[in-house]
Amino acid sequence: MTIEAVLFDWGGTLTPWRTIDVPAIWAEVARTLVTEGDGAAGNGARPDAASLAERLAAADAELWQRAKTDYRAFTLDEVFAQAGTEPTPAALATLHEQWVPATHTDPQAPDMLAALRARGIRVGILSNTPWPRAWHDHWLQRDGVLDLLHGAVYTSDLSWNKPHPDTFHAAMRAVEVSDPRRCIYVGDRLFEDVWGAQRLGMRAVHIPHSDIPADQRGHSQGQPDATIQELDELPALVEEWHA
């Protein structure tokens, strides 16, 4: 069957996996809030940075775990609200800066995406993320990838996270295709990416280099239609399936 579109996960797929100390990131955010004199609890009390960091990290972890069971998406505003504080511009700038090391696009991605486009295939991103679209667009533009995409969907703009079917349908609409059987999804996670895509009838390609913690693996593990070790292997695979 003719392949019309290839959709990609972002973190760990178009960007190489990096193990990040997430509580340490929230500690930096908490220090920013406390230094600003913000981060107050609902009763107006000003917390110390350590307790605020614990609340932020716990809220973040809880919302990600919720997404594993009921697939509900969330935003940074919800993380801060659940921790009993508000995201100031300085705090968001700190969070953004702390995550930058994990945002760099795989050097193979531009040529790979260009090769798929040259075959007339639509390409796009579907990513589970609480971060705003502007952050992702900035990083993709920095790495020369944004203009190679026909569309991108971030769950911070949706009601659901992968593997909910609505997320994949949203990504198909973004790249202007309608038949999941003519789509390939490429990702590093067997639950959200492989299992989720295959439930709609997409073929799923796994990139198995991410060191995903056990508590992030979800309730099901899909069996990929193919596994690749490098992004530059993908055009040949797509050409094989495209016939």
Angle at 196 between CA 185 and CA 135, to 5 degrees: 65
Which positions ≥6 away from 207 have C-beta within 8 Å?
12, 13, 186, 187, 188, 227, 228, 229, 231
Average pLDDT of the segment spanning 185-201: 95
pTM for the predicted model, two decimal places:
0.92
Pull the structure tokens for residue 92.
Answer: 């968001």
Average pLDDT of the segment spanning 125-141: 97
pLDDT of residue 211: 72
Domain spans in the chain, listed from the N-terminal domain onward: 5-16+104-242, 22-101
pLDDT of residue 159: 97
pLDDT of residue 158: 97
pLDDT of residue 209: 87
Residue 169 has pLDDT above 50, yes or no: yes
Which helix (H) or strand (E) segment holds residue 232: the answer is none
CATH architecture of 5-16+104-242: 3-Layer(aba) Sandwich (3.40)
Name the residue with higher pLDDT: 198 or 18: 198
Average pLDDT of the segment spanning 103-107: 97
Split at pLDDT 50, 70, 90, the class of 172 is very high
Cα separation of 127 and 215, whole Å? 19
What are the tens digits of pLDDT across the range 7-60? 999 999 999 998 889 999 999 999 999 987 654 444 455 568 999 999 999 999
Average pLDDT of the segment spanning 136-161: 97
What are the tens digits of pLDDT across the range 209-218? 877 766 666 6
Split at pLDDT 50, 70, 90, the class of 242 is confident
pLDDT of residue 213: 67
C-alpha distances (whole Å) from 140 to each of 26, 82, 88, 226 are 24, 30, 24, 26
Nearest to 160 by CA among 92, 83, 75, 61: 75
* 4 alpha carbon, distance to own chain's centre: 22
Pull the structure tokens for residue 217.
Answer: 């693996």
Name the residue with higher pLDDT: 215 or 79: 79
pLDDT of residue 220: 65
Which positions ≥6 away from 219 have C-beta within 8 Å?
68, 69, 191
Average pLDDT of the segment spanning 202-231: 84
Split at pLDDT 50, 70, 90, the class of 231 is very high
